[in-house]
Amino acid sequence: DVKVTQSSRYLVKRTGEKVFLECVQDMDHENMFWYRQDPGLGLRLIYFSYDVKMKEKGDIPEGYSVSREKKERFSLILESASTNQTSMYLCASRGTSLTGELFFGEGSRLTVL
């Protein structure tokens, strides 16, 4: 059974704190993604990585950074959390085929107070 695992299901942080969201996949996928899911806005791509140490900005990268030191792990970092970053964060992975399925984690719900 393929798996994308996000380390935290629920987090509550204070404004200005540094936040790490971790994601691990066990499918040996080259591509990994971080999306933000908000009602009425759908899924918006924050960053994606197509190889170890390689990354590309998505549509809403401001206020976020990422790290991919190993193929199976992709981390999302909020350097200084703000209230407008309260959201559901989804990690996903897929292989190199353009028609390949995207596999999602269960999501991390972040609340910034």
Partner 1 sequence: AQRVTQPEKLLSVFKGAPVELKCNYSYSGSPELFWYVQYSRQRLQLLLRHISRESIKGFTADLNKGETSFHLKKPFAQEEDSAMYYCALSYNQGGKLIFGQGTELSVKP
What amino acid is encoded at 84 in this protein? Answer: N
Binding status of residue 1 toward partner 1 by CB under 8 A: no
Binding-site member from 78, 94, 110, 112 for partner 1 (CB under 8 A): 94
Considering the complex, what minimum distance in angstroms separates the CB of residue 10 from partner 1?
Answer: 14
- Residue (of 3, 15, 4, 32) closest to 108 by Cα position: 4
Q: Which of 78, 90, 110, 112 binds partner 1 (CB under 8 A)?
A: 90
Q: Is 106 in the site for partner 1 (CB under 8 A)?
A: yes
In our burial notation (b when 16+ CB lie closer than 10 A, e otherwise), range 72-85 reads bebbbebeebeeeb
**Binding-site member from 27, 70, 101, 111 for partner 1 (CB under 8 A):** 101
Closest CB 45 distance from partner 1, rounded Å: 6
| CB burial string 24-60: b at 16+ within 10 A, e below | bbeeebebbbbbbeeeeeeeebbbbbeeeeebeebee
Return the residues of window 10-69 that contact partner 1 according to CB under 8 A: 30-31, 33, 35, 40-45, 48, 50, 56, 58-59
